[in-house]
């Protein structure tokens, strides 16, 4: 396996894992927003006043903010007021830096990356493709 091919494969695995994390976060957000939006709608219908959509609009605003924070397809800039937790990408980057620092200090074995590459090679061989 060439150095370029290996680093591209690691980058692919990284991108896939981050995307899976974002899909999970997006799904959880939707799971919670469904009942919250229904309750907000009912509250707006039952409550008297000039602004029956107020609660529902608040739910939409929360949805927009969490969509930007999750940044599922990478089309949003980090939320400045959220600081270092401006979006999931920033949190993943911080976690990677911490892990790299631990590897550099010898706190975590570098054999994990070699084991991953070996597993990917075995999978390719099994599928009849060149690694």
Per-residue pLDDT tens for 21-60?
Answer: 999 999 999 999 999 999 999 999 998 788 899 999 999 9
Give the end-to-end CA distance of the chain in Å, rounded to a whole number. 6
Structure tokens at 67: 């969509």
Residue carrying the six token digits 């692919």:
12
**CA nearest neighbour of 56 among 79, 25, 34, 26:** 34
What integer best gives the mean pLDDT of the chain? 80
Count of domains for the chain: 1
- Structural domain boundaries enclosing 22: 3-127
SS3 127: helix
Tally Cβ neighbours within 10 Å of residue 79. 15
pLDDT tens for 65-82 read 889 888 888 887 766 765
Taking the C-alpha atoms of residue 59 and residue 31, their distance in angstroms, rounded to an integer, is 13
**Weakest mean pLDDT among 35-44, 50-59, 91-100, 108-117:** 108-117
Alpha carbon dihedral 15, 20, 82, 39, in 10-degree steps, equals 160
């Amino acid at each position: 396996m060439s150095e370029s091919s290996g680093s591209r494969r690691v980058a692919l695995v990284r991108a896939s894992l981050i995307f899976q994390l974002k899909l999970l976060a997006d799904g959880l957000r939707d799971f919670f927003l469904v009942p919250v939006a229904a309750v907000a709608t009912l509250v707006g219908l039952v409550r008297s006043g000039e602004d029956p959509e107020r609660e529902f609009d608040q739910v939409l605003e929360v949805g927009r903010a969490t969509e930007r924070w999750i940044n599922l397809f990478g089309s949003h800039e980090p939320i400045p007021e959220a600081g270092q937790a401006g979006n999931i990408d920033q949190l993943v980057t911080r976690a990677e830096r911490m892990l790299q620092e631990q590897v550099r200090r010898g706190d975590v074995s570098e054999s994990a990356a070699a084991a991953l590459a070996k597993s990917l090679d075995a999978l390719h061989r099994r599928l009849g493709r060149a690694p």
